[in-house]
Chain A
Amino acid sequence: MNALADELTAHRFFARMDAAHLEVLTGCGRNVVIRAGTSIIREGEPADSFWAIRAGRVALGVTVPGREMPTLGTLHAGDVLGWAWLFPPYRWHFDADALDDVHAVVFDAVCLRGKCEADPALGFDLAKRVAGVLGERLHAARIRLLDLYGPSDGG
């Protein structure tokens, strides 16, 4: 197993992934350090990458002209950034900025999609993992809508 694959086995997103699949995926990835304050993703731009965060925090948000918008969510070590790369039209839905220096493995999306099409088993595994992340985030978003800590707890 190559060094990158070795690092990824410790990452929550890739837990218990087939070693052969992991090796294939690392062909699309490389380590990267993103300085604090960097804009990583801009809403509307091509979704051509996928990040597995190893350290540091990323803030998700939207840009509204003339207003300083609050952070919608934060991602941390063990999380992944970006899922729009898997679904046409492959455009980002949100902004993402590095809150700290972020250490991540960045994957090229075109490369990833190619590997998935070529090996359906790998593709299915990756798609399931991405679906799992979406499910967690949807669930968390719905709970936030309940505003449980608000005036009438809803609980």
Chain B
Amino acid sequence: MGLPMAAEVQARAPLTPVTHRVVGRRDETADVVTLLLEATDGSRLRYSAGQFNMLYAYAVGEVAISISANPVDDGPIAHTVRNVGTVSRALCGLHPGDSLGLRGPFGSDWGLDSAAGGDLVIVAGGIGLAPLRSVITQVISQRQRFGDVEIVIGTRTPEELAFKDEVSAWRERDDLSVHVTVDRATPGWRGTVGVVTTVLPRIHCDPAGVALICGPEVMMRFTALALLERGMQAAKIRVSMERNMQCAVAQCGHCQLGSVFVCADGPVLTWERVEPLLSVRQL
């Protein structure tokens, strides 16, 4: 028999892209670009920190890109793209006036509401700072909702730090504790040198707090372990996972990690849920 359905399935969105225009562009580093996007039909996306959109470059394809903007702000929505493949390279080549397609927002968010009232530890590795910028800017604009906020940013070299001006501004604030560390210093760098895990023993860490981690999977694993050693709980450590994403609606099957659809159950997942999955090779 035909399937009874409550409502007609009308528009394909979020399966069909919505035309967006690039209204601003910032070259963060040699291979990282932030694009500011606006829908040409005047509509505005509602999203939460941690979610992503599928950005489409004409005749090239789609790729999942984290929203790096503050969800509380109005205005064009920032997406930070790293040039690592065919589609991202095409997106990094866009300039103000160019158009692209956008589908979304998709995925789980960082869960800031559930962290309100307590301490936050935010650890970003490399391009992982992009999806965390979204939550950091929101935290700053709602600072009184949270307790102590410790931010640890790991980058390859001082030049490769994204959002340099903003990070400097964050470091000036006395309501945030910001630690920037580089894997490789350049001559003249007078800041911390070492992987993020070497900074973690020194930060203020309330075992009852919430931790948000984003970066390469190896870095997230070691960071989560270090925070567990500091007494934090696996259920309150959240990581942002990445897998092959195509449909972004849990129908193409590519992003599965065990029973998890990273596009829909994630990308933000608790360490409690993810750790057993990551401990199986090639799951």
Q: Which residues of A are in contact with B by a Cβ distance under 8 Å?
A: 12, 57, 59-60, 68-74, 76-78, 99, 136, 139-140, 143-144, 146-155
Give the distance to chain A from B84, nearest Cβ to Cβ, in Å: 7
Are the CB atoms of B185 and A140 closer together than 8 Å?
Answer: no
> 10 extra interchain contacts, Cβ-Cβ under 8 A, other than A70-B184, A139-B197?
A60-B193, A70-B193, A73-B198, A76-B202, A143-B218, A143-B222, A144-B195, A147-B183, A151-B31, A155-B215
Hey, what's the 0/1 contact readout for B207-223 against A, CB within 8 Å counting as 1? 00000000111111010
Instruction: Please name the residue on chain B nearest to A143 by beta carbon.
Output: B195
Give the distance to chain A from B46, nearest Cβ to Cβ, in Å: 31
Are the CB atoms of A70 and B186 closer together than 8 Å?
Answer: yes
Let me know if B187 is at the binding interface, CB within 8 A. Answer: yes
Are the CB atoms of B217 and A155 closer together than 8 Å?
Answer: yes
Are the CB atoms of A149 and B198 closer together than 8 Å?
Answer: no
Contact of B198 (CB < 8 Å), options: A140, A153, A155: A140
- In the bound complex, residues from chain B placing their C-beta under 8 Å from that of A143 are 195, 197, 218-219, 222
CA distance A72 to B191 in the complex (A): 11
Q: Which residues of B are in contact with A by a Cβ distance under 8 Å?
A: 31, 84, 125-127, 154-156, 160, 181, 183-195, 197-198, 201-202, 215-220, 222
How many residue pairs bridge A and B at CB < 8 Å? 84
- In the bound complex, residues from chain B placing their C-beta under 8 Å from that of A147 are 156, 183
Are the CB atoms of A149 and B189 closer together than 8 Å?
Answer: no
- In the bound complex, residues from chain A placing their C-beta under 8 Å from that of B184 are 70, 144
CA distance A152 to B83 in the complex (A): 10
Are the CB atoms of A149 and B183 closer together than 8 Å?
Answer: yes
- In the bound complex, residues from chain B placing their C-beta under 8 Å from that of A140 are 194-195, 197-198
Are the CB atoms of A144 and B183 closer together than 8 Å?
Answer: yes
Are the CB atoms of A148 and B187 closer together than 8 Å?
Answer: no
- In the bound complex, residues from chain B placing their C-beta under 8 Å from that of A57 are 192
Are the CB atoms of B187 and A155 closer together than 8 Å?
Answer: no
Chain A to chain B: the 4 pairs with minimum beta-carbon distance, closest first: A155-B216, A149-B126, A70-B185, A155-B217
Question: A140-B197, A140-B198, A147-B183 are contacts. A71–B189 as well, Cβ < 8 Å?
Answer: yes
Instruction: Please name the residue on chain B nearest to A146 by beta carbon.
Output: B218
- In the bound complex, residues from chain B placing their C-beta under 8 Å from that of A144 are 183-184, 194-195
Question: A12-B201, A70-B184 are contacts. A148–B219 as well, Cβ < 8 Å?
Answer: yes
Instruction: Please name the residue on chain A nearest to B126 by beta carbon.
Output: A149
- In the bound complex, residues from chain B placing their C-beta under 8 Å from that of A12 are 201
Are the CB atoms of B192 and A76 closer together than 8 Å?
Answer: yes
Report 13 cross-chain contacts, Cβ distance below 8 Å, ordered by A residue: A68-B188, A70-B185, A99-B190, A140-B195, A143-B222, A144-B184, A144-B194, A144-B195, A148-B218, A149-B127, A149-B154, A153-B216, A155-B220
- In the bound complex, residues from chain A placing their C-beta under 8 Å from that of B189 are 70-71
CA distance A151 to B188 in the complex (A): 24
Are the CB atoms of A70 and B187 closer together than 8 Å?
Answer: yes
- In the bound complex, residues from chain A placing their C-beta under 8 Å from that of B156 are 147, 149-150
- In the bound complex, residues from chain A placing their C-beta under 8 Å from that of B198 are 73, 136, 140
- In the bound complex, residues from chain A placing their C-beta under 8 Å from that of B185 are 70-72
Instruction: Please name the residue on chain A nearest to B128 by beta carbon.
Output: A149
Instruction: Please name the residue on chain B nearest to A60 by beta carbon.
Output: B193
- In the bound complex, residues from chain B placing their C-beta under 8 Å from that of A154 are 216, 218
CA distance A149 to B222 in the complex (A): 14
